[in-house]
Amino acid sequence: MIFGILSFAHHHAEAYIQNLRALPGVELIGVADEDSARGQRFAGAFATHFYPTYEALIEAKPDGVIICTENSKHRPLVEMAASRGVNVLCEKPIATTLADARAELEACEKGAVLFMTAFPMRFSPPLQEVKARLDAGDLGRVYCFNATNQGELPTKHRLWFVDPELAGGGAIMDHTVHLVDIMRWYLSDEVRQVYAQSNRIFHADEVQVETGALEMITFRRGVFATIDASWSRPPYWPTWGGLTFEMVTERGAVLVDAFKQNLTLYSHADQRPTWQFWGSDINFLMLAEFVEAIRTGRQPRVTGLDGYRALEATLAAYESARSGQPVQLG
């Protein structure tokens, strides 16, 4: 099976190259990037072929592509791939508007291709263990979540993360989608209402997007959740970010730290502590699922619809922050 990567705008693209090459029976045919200098630089660094256009790579008929452009640029590439029968794994959020997200879903349905959202936390063994316990009835009814997705200001990775046109927003857009997806997955339920407040207390002189937010989310069957979505970590924090939540159930509370599997390394070179992760590579597991879904012709465990629902709640948080009122979802 052959695969290609479209754009290095998102820093995860670099890891995906190594993940694809570690999968048996998988070949990376090359990469494409509208920023030719950037694309050629990474193609050289990873010793792979550089296609001069996205069309050229897609016309090579890969089994699937991974779309790693800026958030607002996903739609045309999803539509291009789908129209040529190429399966799609798209970085999250899958779009910055619901209209674009719907168009992506429709294009993949029309093209009869798989559309998977890049939600790697679904493949975290600790999170999967909690999900299995829930499904087995070991924890009983879920009452609420108290969750955080905090990180550093992402400008050291890519400047576009703080561009409202390219990213679609700031910390809310960057961090809400993961936790909403986890909660939907755990509860097998949809978001009914979102109330949010945002601010720019952190990095107020550096960016023009929100850098912190607190969101209150209510699901249709009454479970409620809070999400701290912020770029509140200092630049000397050991890692770029993290994801935690406390889930209160009728049989006790479950505490989850998705990035707990690490060793703290102090080095003269970095002049700061860094975390060396020894746990499972969730990006590798996510790509393995994409490959297996294509190979067997089944739907992936995380779909484009999952990406749409997470974006829907995220955009509701923005609407609520603007209006000061709770926003109801259909």
Residue 21 maps to which CATH number?
3.40.50.720
Q: What is the mean pLDDT of each run of 10 residues along the chain (330 residues)?
A: 97 95 97 97 97 98 98 98 98 98 98 98 94 97 97 86 96 97 98 97 92 98 97 86 93 92 86 84 97 98 98 98 96
Answer yes or no: is 260 within a domain.
yes
| Same domain, yes or no: 144 and 50 | no
Answer yes or no: is 67 within a domain.
yes
The whole-number pLDDT of residue 276 equals 85
| Same domain, yes or no: 23 and 69 | yes
The whole-number pLDDT of residue 90 equals 98
| Same domain, yes or no: 106 and 136 | no
The whole-number pLDDT of residue 273 equals 86
Answer yes or no: is 287 within a domain.
no
The whole-number pLDDT of residue 310 equals 98
The whole-number pLDDT of residue 269 equals 84
CA distance 54 to 40: 13
Is the C-alpha dihedral spanning 57, 61, 65, 69 positive or negative? positive
CA 320 to chain centre: 22
Q: Please name which of 206, 143, 202, 172 lies closest in space to residue 313, comparing C-alpha atoms.
A: 172
Answer yes or no: is 303 within a domain.
no
* Residue ranges with strand state E in the chain: 2-6, 27-32, 50-51, 64-67, 87-90, 115-117, 142-151, 191-199, 212-219, 224-230, 241-249, 252-257, 262-267, 272-277, 327-328
Answer yes or no: is 179 within a domain.
yes
| Same domain, yes or no: 102 and 143 | no
Q: What is the CATH number of the domain that holds 205?
A: 3.30.360.10
| Same domain, yes or no: 57 and 23 | yes
Answer yes or no: is 222 within a domain.
yes
Q: How many domains does the chain have?
A: 2
Indicate the pairing of strand 115-117 with strand 224-230. unpaired
Residue 52 structural domain? 2-113
Q: What is the DSSP letter of 299?
A: P
The whole-number pLDDT of residue 2 equals 98
